[in-house]
Amino acid sequence: MAICDLFDKKAITNAIVVDVDAHQGNGHARDFANNENVFVFDVFNPYVYPHDREARQFINKAVHVNSHTTDTSYISELRKQLTQCLENRQNLTPPGFDFILYNAGTDCLFGDPLGAMNLSPQCIISRDEVVFKLAREKGIPICMLTSGGYQKNNAHLIAKSIENLHSKNLINLGIN
Decide: 42 and 62 in contact? Cβ < 8 Å: yes
Task: Report pTM.
Answer: 0.93
Residue of 68, 66, 31 lying closest to 52 (CA atoms): 31
Distances (CA, A) of 38 to 45, 83, 100, 155, 162: 22, 17, 10, 29, 26
**pLDDT for the residue numbered 97:** 93
Residue-wise pLDDT for 38-76, tens only, equals 999 999 999 888 777 777 788 889 999 988 899 999 999
Residue of 12, 14, 17, 11 lying closest to 37 (CA atoms): 14
Residue-wise pLDDT for 70-122, tens only, equals 999 999 999 999 999 998 876 565 678 999 999 999 999 999 988 889 999 99
Higher pLDDT, 162 or 34: 162
**pLDDT for the residue numbered 174:** 82
Domains of the chain: 13-94+116-167 (3.40.800.20)
Kindly tell me if the per-residue pLDDT of 145 is higher than 90. yes
Decide: 164 and 129 in contact? Cβ < 8 Å: yes
Kindly tell me if the per-residue pLDDT of 36 is higher than 90. no
Q: Cα–Cα distance between 93 and 103 in angstroms, integer?
A: 26
**pLDDT for the residue numbered 113:** 86
Report DSSP state, residue 90. Answer: G
Q: Sign of the CA dihedral 171, 72, 97, 34?
A: negative
Strands (E), the chain: 15-19, 38-44, 61-64, 99-105, 142-147
Q: Cα–Cα distance between 153 and 108 in angstroms, integer?
A: 13
Residue type, 32: F
